[in-house]
Amino acid sequence: MRTLATTVLWTLTILSVFALYAIKTDTRRLEARAKQLDRETHAAGQRVARLRARWGELTRPERIERLAIEHLGYGPLAPGQFAALGDLVGDAPPSTAPKPGARQPRARQQRSAARGERGDRRIRRATSASVLPKQTPASRTQTHIPAAPVSPQQARRPAAPVRAATATGILAEEKAR
Amino acid sequence: MSQPAHRRAENHRLDGLRHRRRTFGLALTIVATFGLLAGQLVRHGLAERPVVTMASARPITHGWARPDILDRRGRVLATDVARPSLFADPALIVDVDEVIAFLAPIFPTIEWRAMRDRLDNRARRFVWIARGLDADVAGRIAALGLPGLAFRDELQRRYPAGALTAHTVGHVDIDNDGKAAAEIFLQEVIGVDPADDARRSARPPVHLTLDLGVQHVVAGELSAAMAATGARAAAGLIMDARTGALLASVSLPSYDPHTPAKPRDASGSGAQSTHAAAPQAQRADGSVNRLALARYELGSVMKPLVIAAALDTGAVTPLARIDTRAALTRDDFTITDPPRVAGKLSLEDVFTRSSNVGAATLALNLGEEKLLAAFSRLGVTGRLLTELGRGPHARLPKPWRDVNTMTAGYGYGVATTPLQLAAATASLINGGHALQPHVVRTSSLPPPRRVLRPETSAELRRYFRANVARGTGVRARVPGYDVGGKTGTALRATAGGYDAERTITSFVGAFPMVAPRYVTLAVLFEPKRPLAADATGSADASTTAAPLTARIVRRAAPMLGIAPRRQRSDG
């Protein structure tokens, strides 16, 4: 009886030694991994901070404004570029309206701008009529239309949109400055 | 020698017993010891790891990890990035001359003679050579493989918007310690963490009320107006008329927050304000925040305050008429209105024609005590503390005589900061509530404190509106936006008098006047030419600051989400 108990105890002791050793090595491994992850998180955090700072520098309003004027022919939003929904419905072009959600071709905006129409006329034309319900009562709700080209001269400039197509081109240009 | 057999047997039994006891004791000790060890292991395994603080004989400089600063839409205005800094351990340097020969071309600005003395001193174990390096520069130095040189990552503050927000966000020193504006507020109120390494702060970012886009519009228009009018400096703001939150706060010229010692824009260099009593305002030009930290006699933009005080205390009624044809004299000082202004004027006329005699008469009717009490209630004679810094105490004439009551009526003698004036004007039009201008977004604004009766405020709104419709402020009109405001052209005070050649022109306004949401202020310092294309002759507020405000509102209002009211007559 005693021999059996001794044997069992010895076995348990040996097993616990092995278990302890296994847990210890495991702990060491996990600690090293945790440390490494911590280092990586830290490094990633630093990288994110650097990128955010860089992003902030690249999206400075004065830079975006300059690029938008140079490459897209945009200008600051003018009060005349706001229109009421009701007006848009009243001025809908009849059958040539594009499909819902389709974007109006740029050339058309430019043509109407070039004709020197009044600002509000330009907006009405540039807005797809079929996206609006036909029977909408003349609403006083204000709607916001994307900025139209600044001037006919800028709008007609052919090279600008092509250059704008490559973001890297803009960056390279920025660097060269 | 012979023992009885039973005795021997007895001894043998006792020996066995002792032996077993010893064995048992030994086993118990071993078990207890191992148990103790196991217990300790478990305890160490479960216990929180204690924070190890490093003690070092090396003189390590302590920096600060600061929370990011964002604008109201989450755009980064200030953030910490880790950058390598180069230091030397003179004890490990083999050849000081070689080190200097290699490093001198990379750092031409370092004073190498003094540096050599420091590097020669082998008792020193730590000498900074250059801090906050670019990664490629650090890589080039590391590639040299010079013994005794090493790098340490340090946090460095970056301001992506640069000079655009410098006067509002502030700047830090080489140890990331806040030195101006919101950065000081961060250091003293919000809290920063000491950092021995380049670990970023875990604190949540600090949101400002500023809108970077609106800030850009205001700064851009002010800067363009400075160039067009030949002004030496400019200041401007857009403030929420109900909360006092600043959406734009601009003082030009500005400076690069990364190199705060150098003024960025030299166009106004040397313009040291004689009025600026705050210590901040005495420094080089670009570092002066003319909006919040310097005080000026602002002239006629103070008249609405006097009119409001007179109405609110009942000194006059809205129907009163004031004769401004006669000259007004106090203490040997006489003022008259020009013929096109003089007449029997209603309060609205006093406002829209900007009659000095009219406003001075109102001030004299009120008397010194009530006038100063009203100024104090509106916050123009106190001292304004904001996150932009500790504003200077307003300056009042001492001793105060009758003539001072008279001149204070049209804005002379009392020097205050443009920001205080804007806050007071907000109270005039927002229903009579005093507000605390602020740039750090907060959830704990003080409860609104009423300083004027709502009827007074409604009456004043009418005057502000009429002034842009047909008074001195017509050039501030923006179709669809219902702008109201007051012009002010003040001569700059010099030692012993006023300089007629140097003026401060300002326009304090609000829009939309039906229910004012935003207060605007535009101030030009010493403009030489009018800004408005249709204006000729002198550069006063109606031809400089008023059209400037129109340009600002035209561009900023759509960004603030205010659509124009449709007017059939608009082009």
**Which residues of chain B does A144 touch, with a Cβ-Cβ cutoff of 8 Å?**
563
User: What is the tens place of the pLDDT at every residue in B449-469?
Assistant: 899 999 999 999 999 999 999
Residue with tokens 């003024």: B263
User: What is the tens place of the pLDDT at every residue in B487-509?
Assistant: 999 998 887 788 888 899 999 99
The Cα A116–Cα B106 span in angstroms is 57
The Cα B223–Cα B235 span in angstroms is 9
User: What is the tens place of the pLDDT at every residue in A23-48?
Assistant: 999 999 999 999 999 999 988 988 89
> What's the rounded mean pLDDT across residues B301-307?
94
**Which residues of chain A does B45 touch, with a Cβ-Cβ cutoff of 8 Å?**
27
Asked if the model's pLDDT at residue B539 lies above 90, the reply is no
The Cα B478–Cα B488 span in angstroms is 19
Instruction: Name the least confident of B275-289, B328-342, B553-567.
Output: B275-289
Q: Which residue has the higher pLDDT, B193 or A110?
A: B193
CB-closest option in A60, A65, A84 to B160: A60
pLDDT, position B131 = 85
**Which residues of chain B does A84 touch, with a Cβ-Cβ cutoff of 8 Å?**
566
Instruction: Provide residues of A within 8 Å CB-CB of chain B.
Output: 20, 27, 42, 45-46, 49-50, 52-57, 59-62, 65, 76-82, 84, 118, 142, 144
Q: Could you tell me if B287 and B389 are in contact, meaning their C-beta atoms sit under 8 angstroms apart?
A: no
Residue of A nearest to B160 (CA): A57
- Residue B283, min C-alpha distance to chain A (Å): 28
Q: Could you tell me if B115 and B129 are in contact, meaning their C-beta atoms sit under 8 angstroms apart?
A: yes
pLDDT, position A156 = 43
pLDDT, position B60 = 55
Residue of B nearest to A52 (CA): B76
> What's the rounded mean pLDDT across residues B421-436?
93
CB-closest option in B45, B75, B555 to A56: B75
Q: What are phi and psi of B86, to 5 degrees?
A: -100, 130
pLDDT, position B2 = 58
Give the containing element (helix H, strand E) for B522. Answer: strand B518-525
Residue with tokens 């007895």: B10
pLDDT, position A133 = 39
> What's the rounded mean pLDDT across residues A95-108?
51
Contact at CB, A79 and B554, closer than 8 angstroms: yes
pLDDT, position B248 = 95
Asked if the model's pLDDT at residue A18 lies above 60, the reply is yes
The Cα B96–Cα B15 span in angstroms is 80
**Which residues of chain A does B478 touch, with a Cβ-Cβ cutoff of 8 Å?**
79
**Which residues of chain A does B75 touch, with a Cβ-Cβ cutoff of 8 Å?**
56, 59
Share of chain B above pLDDT 70, in %: 91
Q: What is the pTM of this model?
A: 0.74
Contact at CB, B571 and A60, closer than 8 angstroms: no
The Cα B148–Cα A64 span in angstroms is 46
Per-residue confidence at A171, pLDDT binned at 50, 70, 90? low
SS3 category, A47: helix
CB-closest option in B38, B161, B559 to A60: B161
Give the containing element (helix H, strand E) for B369. Answer: helix B356-378
Contact at CB, B478 and A79, closer than 8 angstroms: yes
Instruction: From B260, B253, B261, B255, select the one nearest B291 (Cα to Cα).
Output: B253
Per-residue confidence at A85, pLDDT binned at 50, 70, 90? confident
Asked if the model's pLDDT at residue B376 lies above 50, the reply is yes
> What's the rounded mean pLDDT across residues B35-62?
69
Contact at CB, A50 and B81, closer than 8 angstroms: yes
> What's the rounded mean pLDDT across residues B399-427?
91
Q: Could you tell me if B510 and B485 are in contact, meaning their C-beta atoms sit under 8 angstroms apart?
A: yes
Contact at CB, B571 and A118, closer than 8 angstroms: yes
Contact at CB, A79 and B82, closer than 8 angstroms: no
Rounded mean pLDDT of chain A?
67
**Quick check: ipTM above 0.85?**
no
- Residue A60, min C-alpha distance to chain B (Å): 6
Contacts 24+ apart (CB under 8 A), A159-162: A160/A70, A160/A71, A160/A72, A160/A73, A161/A71, A161/A72, A161/A73, A161/A106
Q: Most confidently modeled of A116-130, B26-40, B163-177?
A: B26-40
Q: Chain A within 8 Å of B132 (Cβ-Cβ)?
A: no
Contact at CB, B558 and A20, closer than 8 angstroms: no
Residue of B nearest to A45 (CA): B200
Token readout for B351 is: 């406002």
Asked if the model's pLDDT at residue A140 lies above 50, the reply is no
B518: Cβ contacts below 8 Å, ≥ 6 apart: B238, B239, B240, B241, B247, B510, B511, B557, B560, B562
CB-closest option in A49, A62, A144 to B81: A49
Instruction: Name the least confident of B275-279, B288-292, B525-529, B553-557.
Output: B275-279
pLDDT, position A113 = 46
